[in-house]
Amino acid sequence: MSAGAVEGGLVRLIEQFRQTSGHTVRVQYGTSPELAERLAAAQSADVLIAPVAVMDRAVADRKAVGNTRVTVGRVGIGVIVREGARVPGLASPDVLKRAFREAGAIVYNKGSSGLYIEKLLAQMGIAEHVRSRTAQVADGEDVMRRIIDGKGDEIGLAAISAIKIFKSDKFRYVGPLPAPIQNHTTYDAAVMTGAREPRAAAELVRFITTPAARRLFVEAGVE
């Protein structure tokens, strides 16, 4: 059970893990709120990969084994526009704030990055000004699709890792949020208490920490 933000690196890692260990891994992806809901509903898996806050709760509730916990990496938020649309400036928070005010729509998801964008708009003092032009969709992939299918100067915001794995020439990745307002979500992995294959699960979690695995995640936008 894994957060979708690390999918790009995890898919390639799992293939390497299968080749070296012989184990087949099936993954159910979800946003941070979806993972929290599944855990609350007592759904289990062999391995959990989730944002730190979700993992903290899972360990506290004894749904994940704390001493198996490792850091997978962290993911920042990136800005996209439809190919041919006006490109927002990212030189500073104030420049981006102006772009937000002038955008035809601001699109973000219901995951960790989207929760942060809602807070950011409020901190910038423009939440009410842009409320009628914000669109919250299910996940990062839906952000990309909404931007591609949109019209006018719409701005999409999603996890950089989600942007990197979405293959299309119909949108443009502008860049990461300006450093002063960038937000990174850190993801951890752990064996779940109800694991049906605890030894294989522990093997996979250890594999995540190898140098080869780290390179795969970095290439997929997971720092």
> What is the per-residue pLDDT across 109-120, written as a single tens digit (0 to 9) for each?
988 899 999 999
Q: Give the whole-angstrom CA distance, residue 44 versus residue 194.
A: 6
CB-CB contact of 24 with 173 (8 Å): no
> Three-state DSSP class for 137?
strand
Which residues of the chain have a pLDDT value below 50?
A: none
Q: What's the pLDDT at 81?
A: 98
Choose among 179, 185, 148, 178: nearest CA to 6: 185
CATH of domain 77-181: 3.40.190.10
pLDDT for 152 = 87
Can you give the residue ranges of every domain in the chain?
2-74+186-219, 77-181
Question: What is the reported pTM?
Answer: 0.87
Write phi, then psi, for 195 (nearest 5 degrees). Answer: -60, 130
Q: pLDDT by residue (tens digit) across 165-183?
A: 898 999 999 999 999 999 9
Residue 197 has what pLDDT? Answer: 97
Gap between the Cα atoms of 175 and 158, Å rounded: 11
pLDDT given at position 108: 97
Look up the CATH superfamily of 2-74+186-219: Periplasmic binding protein-like II (3.40.190.10)
Q: What is the pLDDT of residue 14?
A: 97
- Which strands form 171-176's sheet, in the order they lie side by side? 134-137, 105-109, 154-159, 77-82, 171-176
Q: What pLDDT, on a 0 to 100 scale, did the predictor assign at position 112?
A: 84
Predicted local distance difference test score (pLDDT) of residue 69: 98
Q: Which pLDDT does position 111 carry in this prediction?
A: 84
Task: Assess whether the region 2-74+186-219 and the region 77-181 belong to the same CATH fold.
Answer: yes
